[in-house]
Structure 1
Amino acid sequence: MTTTSSPVPAGGIDTLVLGRRIRHLRTARDMTLDDLGAAIGRAPSQVSMLENGHREPKLSLLGLVADALDVPLSELLRTDPPTRRAALEVELERAQRGPLFASLGVPPVKVSRSLPPDALEALVRLQAEIQRLLTENAATPEEARRANADLRARMRAQDNYFPELEEHARTLLKAIDHPGGPLSQRATADVAAHLGFSLHYVTDLPHSTRSVTDLAHGRIYLSQGTGGVTDARSPLLQALASHVLGHAEPRDYGDFLRQRVEANYMAAALMLPEDGAVPFLQQAKAERRLSVEDLRDTFAVPYETAAHRFTNLATRHLGIPVHFMKVHEGGTLHKAYENDGVVFPSDPLGAIEGQPVCRQWTARVVFTLPDRFSPYYQYTDTSSGTYWCTSRVQPSSQGAFSVSVGVPFSQVRWFRGRETTERSQSRCPDPTCCRQPPADLAQRWAAQAWPSARPHASLLAALPVGVFPGVDTTEVYRFLDRHAPE
Structure 2
Amino acid sequence: MHATPLELSTLGHRIRHQRTSHGMTLDELGEKVGVAGSHLSLIENGKREPKLSLLQEIAAATGVEVGDLLSPEPPNRRAALEIELARAQSSSVFRSLGIEPVRVTKGMSDETIESILGLHRELQRREREAIATPEEARRANTEQRLRMRAVDNYLPDIERLAEKQLKAAGHSTGALTHRTVSIMAEQIGFELIYVNDLPSSTRSITDLENGRIYLPPASIPGGHGLRSMALQAMAHRLLEHERPVDYADFLRQRLEINYYAACCLMPESAAVAFLQQAKKDRNLAVEDFRDAFGVTHEAAGMRMTNLMTHHLGMRLHFLRVDGDGAISRVYENDDLPLPADVTGAVDGQIACAKFSARAAFSEQNRTTEHYQYTDTPSGTFWCSTQTGSTADGEFSITVGVPFDDARWFRGRETTKRAVSTCPEESCCRRPDPEATGRWQGKAWPSARVHMQMFSPLPRGAFPGVDENEVYAFLDRHV
Q: Report the TM-score when normalising by structure 2.
A: 0.69
Determine helix, strand or coil for the equivalent of 1:267: helix
1:386 aligns with 2:380: yes
Measured in 2, the distance between the counterparts of 1:459 and 1:127 equals 26
CA deviations on 1:85-123 (whole Å, 9 max, x unpaired) are: xxx9xxx9xxxxxxxxxxxxxxxxxxxx84589778756
Measured in 2, the distance between the counterparts of 1:234 and 1:130 equals 31
- 2:199 is aligned, of 202, 206, 210, to 206
Residue 405 of structure 2 corresponds to which residue in structure 1? 411
**How far is 1:228 from its partner?**
11
Show the 5 A alignment for 1:121-132: 125-132=120-127
1:183 aligns with 2:149: no
- Show structure 1 runs of 4+ deviating over 6 A: 116-121, 459-462
Classify 1:211/1:461 alpha carbon distance in 2 versus 1 (closer, same or farther; 3 Å).
closer
Tell me which amino acid in the other structure corresponds to 1:281.
L
Tell me which amino acid in the other structure corresponds to 2:186.
A
Residue 455 of structure 1 corresponds to which residue in structure 2? 450
Measured in 2, the distance between the counterparts of 1:149 and 1:338 equals 12
Classify 1:446/1:317 alpha carbon distance in 2 versus 1 (closer, same or farther; 3 Å).
farther
Residue 153 of structure 1 corresponds to which residue in structure 2? 146
CA deviations on 1:399-447 (whole Å, 9 max, x unpaired) are: 1110000101121111111111100000100011111223343441554
Classify 1:202/1:420 alpha carbon distance in 2 versus 1 (closer, same or farther; 3 Å).
same
Determine helix, strand or coil for the equivalent of 1:401: strand
Determine helix, strand or coil for the equivalent of 1:400: strand
- 1:249 is aligned, of 243, 250, 265, to 243
1:233 aligns with 2:223: no
Classify 1:337/1:222 alpha carbon distance in 2 versus 1 (closer, same or farther; 3 Å).
same
**How far is 1:458 from its partner?**
4.0
Residue 359 of structure 2 corresponds to which residue in structure 1? 365
Contact map agreement 2:215 2:226 (CA 8 A) in 1: no
**How far is 1:133 from its partner?**
2.5
Classify 1:187/1:131 alpha carbon distance in 2 versus 1 (closer, same or farther; 3 Å).
closer
Show the 5 A alignment for 1:40-439: 114=108, 125-135=120-130, 138-224=131-217, 225-226=219-220, 231-439=225-433
Classify 1:122/1:267 alpha carbon distance in 2 versus 1 (closer, same or farther; 3 Å).
same
Tell me which amino acid in the other structure corresponds to 2:179.
R
Residue 56 of structure 2 corresponds to which residue in structure 1? none
Determine helix, strand or coil for the equivalent of 1:395: strand
Classify 1:229/1:364 alpha carbon distance in 2 versus 1 (closer, same or farther; 3 Å).
farther
Measured in 1, the distance between the counterparts of 2:269 and 2:122 equals 51
Q: Where does the alignment leave 5 or more consecutive residues of structure 1 unmatched?
A: 1-87, 93-112, 463-486
**How far is 1:342 from its partner?**
1.1
Contact map agreement 1:181 1:272 (CA 8 A) in 2: no
Measured in 1, the distance between the counterparts of 2:118 and 2:456 equals 36
CA deviations on 1:41-98 (whole Å, 9 max, x unpaired) are: xxxxxxxxxxxxxxxxxxxxxxxxxxxxxxxxxxxxxxxxxxxxxxx9xxx9xxxxxx
Contact map agreement 2:216 2:226 (CA 8 A) in 1: no
Determine helix, strand or coil for the equivalent of 2:225: coil
Tell me which amino acid in the other structure corresponds to 1:202.
V
Classify 1:228/1:114 alpha carbon distance in 2 versus 1 (closer, same or farther; 3 Å).
farther
Residue 104 of structure 1 corresponds to which residue in structure 2? none
**How far is 1:212 from its partner?**
1.1
Q: Report the TM-score when normalising by structure 1.
A: 0.68
Determine helix, strand or coil for the equivalent of 2:275: helix
Determine helix, strand or coil for the equivalent of 1:402: strand
Classify 1:373/1:387 alpha carbon distance in 2 versus 1 (closer, same or farther; 3 Å).
same
Q: Where does the alignment leave 5 or more consecutive residues of structure 2 unmatched?
A: 1-84, 90-106, 458-478
Contact map agreement 1:200 1:219 (CA 8 A) in 2: yes
Measured in 2, the distance between the counterparts of 1:304 and 1:316 equals 20
Measured in 1, the distance between the counterparts of 2:429 and 2:455 equals 18
**How far is 1:185 from its partner?**
1.5
CA deviations on 1:129-176 (whole Å, 9 max, x unpaired) are: 3343233xx110000110110010011011000001101101100111
Classify 1:178/1:134 alpha carbon distance in 2 versus 1 (closer, same or farther; 3 Å).
closer
CA deviations on 1:175-216 (whole Å, 9 max, x unpaired) are: 111122211111111111112111211111112222111111
Measured in 1, the distance between the counterparts of 2:233 and 2:264 equals 13
Identity %: 45
Determine helix, strand or coil for the equivalent of 1:232: helix
Q: How many residues align?
A: 352
Classify 1:151/1:269 alpha carbon distance in 2 versus 1 (closer, same or farther; 3 Å).
same
User: Is 223-232 or 306-315 further displaced after alignment?
Assistant: 223-232
Measured in 1, the distance between the counterparts of 2:180 and 2:427 equals 50
Tell me which amino acid in the other structure corresponds to 1:448.
A
Contact map agreement 1:228 1:396 (CA 8 A) in 2: no
**How far is 1:287 from its partner?**
1.5
User: Is 190-199 or 350-359 further displaced after alignment?
Assistant: 190-199
Measured in 2, the distance between the counterparts of 1:252 and 1:227 equals 35
Tell me which amino acid in the other structure corresponds to 1:282.
Q
Measured in 1, the distance between the counterparts of 2:125 and 2:191 equals 35
Tell me which amino acid in the other structure corresponds to 1:363.
A
Contact map agreement 2:279 2:409 (CA 8 A) in 1: yes
CA deviations on 1:20-60 (whole Å, 9 max, x unpaired) are: xxxxxxxxxxxxxxxxxxxxxxxxxxxxxxxxxxxxxxxxx
